[in-house]
């Protein structure tokens, strides 16, 4: 591979543009191709970011010899299939969360990664946010043990719109998308597998066809517990907020920012080279490709999260 890493980005919507902004800060990386369903919109974004190749077909980007890796920011339902297309084409791949919307597909993707030898990473951004990294360092040094995590994931999304207020062509999902962040982070931070998981959900929205409210309980093998509340009916504040309750303190993580239990802000600016979790995630992807190693949040490291999500789905369907 040449020093320059060529990347194709599929799905240049609200989240895809966050990756494009992040990639600008990483040396010796060039976005070669944008893949978008709406060609006019993709061309407009390509012009903004200086990308010369635009296509509606992922296969066309995969056929380019100057594309070394792909970042997938496409609809959830396409993730597993497209990630496997990338691996079969000999390309490294980072697929936005979730890597699949079924336990079967998650297992198939991880098996294919082992066969291909390519880097395959999932966008579990919470592993990279400086706020959560700070907590992890405390745990690793023996200064902190999690007793409980209380997490709120709240949005106001009664119509099918994205983060930019634009209509979506697909439907978001509380379980397979938003809960995946917390299920993985809980096991990652406690360093202990999830041995018990329960879920209940509210009514299914007549137009969107999804549950708009959900509650999840988790227990790790080491005894730590987690309570996760999710809603698309909440009018504010919006986002995901993590409360860590531990043996030596309480901490509240709001994306890249961290506060103690008294709402005093903690300086996490020197935890990593950036305060942007997406940029840190992309830096890890590029570094793993260059160094020929498994990245943090590889498909194998996050696989057990999808086992738990699959079990929760069966509960909700029964």
Using CA atoms in the order 118, 124, 130, 131, what is the torsion angle rounded to 10 degrees?
A: -160
**Mean pLDDT of all residues in 225-230:** 98
pLDDT band at 295 (very low <50, low <70, confident <90, very high): very high
Is it true that domain 5-125+277-294 has CATH number 3.40.50.620? no
For the chain, domain boundaries = 5-125+277-294, 129-271
Residue 164 confidence (pLDDT): 53
Q: Using 50, 70 and 90 to split pLDDT, how confident is the model at 169?
A: low
pLDDT for res 318: 87
Would you say 80 and 97 are in contact if contact means Cβ atoms under 8 Å apart?
no
Report cis status (omega within 30 of 0) of the bond before 237: yes
- CA-based end-to-end distance of the chain: 49
What's the rounded Cα separation, in Å, for the pair 306 and 313?
10
Residue 3's pLDDT is 87
Q: How far apart are CA 72 and CA 4, in angstroms?
A: 20
The domain 129-271: what is its CATH number? 3.30.360.10
| Residue (of 144, 143, 120) closest to 69 by Cα position | 120
Using a pLDDT cut of 90, give the percent of the chain over it.
88
Reported confidence tier of residue 98, pLDDT bands at 50, 70, 90: very high
Give whole-number Cα distances, 174 to 16, 101, 119, 171, 212, in Å: 20, 11, 27, 10, 8
Q: Give the pLDDT band (50/70/90) at residue 134.
A: very high
What pLDDT, in 10s, does the model give residues 41-75? 999 999 999 999 999 999 999 999 999 999 999 99
- pTM listed for this prediction: 0.94
Q: In this predicted structure, what is the pLDDT of residue 159?
A: 65
What is the β-pairing status of strands 194-201 and 239-246?
Answer: unpaired
Strands 265-266 and 257-260: antiparallel
CA dist., res. 38 & res. 22, Å (int): 22
């Amino acid at each position: 591979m040449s020093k320059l890493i060529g990347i194709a980005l599929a799905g240049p919507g609200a989240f895809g543009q966050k990756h494009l902004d992040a990639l600008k800060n990483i040396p010796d990386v060039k976005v070669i191709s944008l893949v978008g369903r709406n060609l006019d919109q993709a061309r407009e974004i390509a012009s903004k970011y200086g990308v010369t190749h635009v296509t509606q077909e992922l296969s066309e980007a995969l056929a380019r010899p100057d594309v070394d890796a792909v970042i997938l920011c496409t609809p959830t339902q396409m993730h597993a299939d497209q990630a496997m297309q990338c691996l079969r084409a000999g390309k490294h791949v980072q697929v936005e969360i979730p890597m699949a919307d079924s336990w079967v597909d998650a297992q198939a993707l991880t098996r294919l990664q082992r066969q291909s030898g390519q880097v395959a990473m999932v966008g579990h951004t919470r592993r990279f946010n400086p706020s959560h990294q700070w907590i992890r360092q405390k745990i690793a040094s023996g200064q902190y043990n999690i007793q409980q995590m209380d997490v709120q994931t709240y949005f106001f999304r009664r119509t099918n719109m994205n983060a930019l207020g634009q209509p979506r062509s697909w439907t978001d999902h509380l379980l397979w998308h938003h809960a995946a962040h917390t299920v993985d982070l809980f096991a990652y931070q406690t360093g202990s597998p999830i041995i018990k998981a329960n879920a209940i959900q509210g009514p299914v929205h007549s137009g969107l066809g999804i549950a708009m409210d959900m509650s999840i309980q988790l227990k790790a093998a080491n005894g730590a517990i987690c309570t996760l509340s999710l809603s698309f009916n909440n009018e504010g504040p919006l986002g995901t907020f993590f409360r860590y309750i531990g043996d030596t303190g309480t901490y509240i993580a709001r994306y890249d920012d961290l506060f103690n239990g008294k709402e005093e802000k903690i300086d996490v600016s020197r935890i990593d080279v950036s305060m942007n979790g997406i940029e840190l995630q992309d830096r890890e992807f590029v570094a793993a490709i260059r160094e020929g190693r498994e990245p943090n949040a590889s498909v194998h490291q996050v696989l057990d999260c999808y086992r738990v999500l699959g079990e929760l789905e069966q509960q909700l369907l029964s």
